[in-house]
A and B are shown apart, each in its own frame.
Chain A
Amino acid sequence: MSLCCIIVEDLQVAANYLIKCCEKSNLVEVKGHFTNVPDALSFVNENTVDLIFLDVEMPGPSGFELLDQMAFLPKIILTTSKKEYAYDAFEYKVTDFLKKPFSYERFLESLQKVQASPDIPATGAIASDHIYIKSEGKLIRLANESILYIESMGDYVKFVTADKKYITHNTIKNLEDKVDKASFLKVHRSYIINLHKIDDMRENHLFIQGVEIPVSKAFKSLVISRLNIL
């Protein structure tokens, strides 16, 4: 099993040590190393990773703030030199907690825990009847059937349901691969819609509960092919 990971760590020595451990194990491919949360967040919003080695105290936002802002969580191994964070680690349901510096054997133990975890996020679409999003400082469960559409707002996206809108840090590009493809379809660079919620479609627009949503020329034939046209 090969996992792809990123390292979020401002101490270069610790990051280099982790990279060496990953290389030595032949079990983990390091996709990137980031020294702060904003850079890491930009990467995970555009790319899929199985695992994040995450430091807590860094310049700017903390590692926990990264977890707060991510819509989809891969496996997390906290790497910190403060055991005081163990309680928070437990609260955030991280897979393991490595106190720096840690031995290579201890590193391997952590990887075993990751591999033993039953819910390694799929690198493709997740077939499920619901998703969890991070919004308003908590994880919110949204049933697929409750989502009307998802709209891009720059570095954020808005999940629109019949009675509420949820804004979370993510991108349409990232979500495109992660939402259930049986229910959702990208129809424009700024929109993913729930196919079951379309009321009508006219030319290059479709309507969901009175909201007009543009359909790109590039996606129009795909949208039509997914409609149950008699």
Chain B
Amino acid sequence: MMQPSANKAYVFNEHVNVQYLNNLYSGDYEMIEETFSDVLAEFPSLLENIDAAALTRDLPGLKQAIHKIKPLFGFTGLTAIQTECQDFENACVSHPSFDSILPIFSILNKSIVRAQAIIAEEKARLAIFNSR
């Protein structure tokens, strides 16, 4: 795995919490790229679980699906979305009906879809960066 290099400087997307990522990976860009790749590979199945739970209006299932996808945003430094997921999990406790949680879920769902695009874009840029 690559160690931090003083000669290399990678500029992350503005939504990525760089300080958090540096703390997590100690500037090991190859490890970051590998993890982003792992995240992208796992993302679709976790997204499917969310869609399935939403479609069947299964609130406990939806809470569980959001809980499961949440760490992916931590691993990719998207800490704001990670917090949104946690807030949603907390809201599920105080909003026991699916209808009452729907507006919060709609916002979160958009964030999740946007996050997937950001991670894919970062993964592609990191691959170029690491190959230099």
Q: Which residues of A contact B (CB under 8 A)?
A: 11-14, 16-17, 20, 24, 57, 81-82, 100-105
Q: A11-B68, A101-B71 are in contact. Are A17 and B26 (CB under 8 A)?
A: no
Q: In the complex the two chains form, is B75's CB within 8 Å of A12's CB? A: no
Q: Tell me the bound Cα distance from A12 to B70 in angstroms.
A: 13
Chain B residues 1-60 with CB under 8 Å of chain A are: 1, 23-26, 28, 31, 34-35, 38-39, 41-42
- Which among A20, A24, A101 has the highest number of chain B CB atoms within 10 Å? A101
Q: Contacts of A101 on B, CB cut-off 8 Å? A: 24, 71, 74-75
Q: For residues 52 through 91 of chain B, which have their beta carbon under 8 Å from a beta carbon of chain A? A: 64, 67-68, 70-72, 74-75
B75 neighbours in A (Cβ, 8 Å): 13-14, 17, 101
A-B contact count (CB 8 A): 52
Q: Is the CB of B74 within 8 A of A20?
A: no
B71 touching A20 by the CB < 8 A rule? no
Q: Nearest chain-B residue to A101 (Cβ)?
A: B74
User: Chain A contacts of B1 at CB under 8 A?
Assistant: 20, 24
* Chain B residues whose C-beta falls within 8 Å of the C-beta of A102 in the assembled complex: 24
Whether B74 contacts A16 by the Cβ 8 Å rule is no
Query: Which of B25, B38, B64 lies at the interface centre, i.e. has the most chain A CB atoms within 10 A of its CB?
Result: B38
Judge whether B34 and A57 touch: CB under 8 Å. Answer: no
What is the CB-to-nearest-CB distance from A38 to chain B, in angstroms, rounded to a whole number? Answer: 19
- Which of A57, A81, A82, A104 is B24 in contact with, Cβ under 8 Å? A104
Q: Are A57 and B67 in contact (CB under 8 A)?
A: yes
B71, A81: Cβ atoms closer than 8 Å: yes
Count how many chain B residues have C-beta atoms less than 8 Å from C-beta atoms of the other chain.
Answer: 21
Which of chain A's residues have a CB closer than 8 A to the CB of B31?
A: 20
A57 neighbours in B (Cβ, 8 Å): 64, 67-68
| A103 & B23 in contact (Cβ 8 Å cutoff) | yes
A12 in contact with B38 (CB, 8 Å): yes
Cβ of A88 to closest chain B Cβ, rounded Å: 16
Closest to A104 in B: B26
Of A12, A24, A100, the contact of B42 (CB 8 Å cutoff): A12
B23 and A13: CB pair below 8 A?
Answer: no
Closest to B75 in A: A101
Determine how close the nearest CB of chain B comes to the CB of A82; give it in whole angstroms.
7
- CB–CB B68/A103 < 8 A: no
> Closest residue to B30 on the A side, CB-wise?
A20
Closest to B25 in A: A104
CB pair B26 A105 closer than 8 Å: yes
Residue of B nearest to A24 (CB): B1
Residues B67 and A16 in contact, CB atoms below 8 Å apart: no
Task: Report 7 cross-chain contacts, Cβ distance below 8 Å, ordered by A residue.
Answer: A13-B75, A14-B71, A16-B38, A17-B38, A24-B1, A81-B67, A105-B23
In the complex, are the beta carbons of B70 and A81 less than 8 A apart?
yes
- What residues of chain B lie closer than 8 Å to A20, measured between beta carbons? 1, 31, 34-35
Q: With A and B bound together, what is the CA distance between A9 and B118 in angstroms?
A: 26
Residues of B within 8 A of A13 (CB): 35, 38-39, 42, 71-72, 75
The reply to whether B74 and A17 form a contact with Cβ atoms under 8 Å apart is: no
> Which of B23, B35, B41, B68 is within 8 Å of A17, CB to CB?
B35
Contact yes or no, B35 A12, CB < 8 A: no
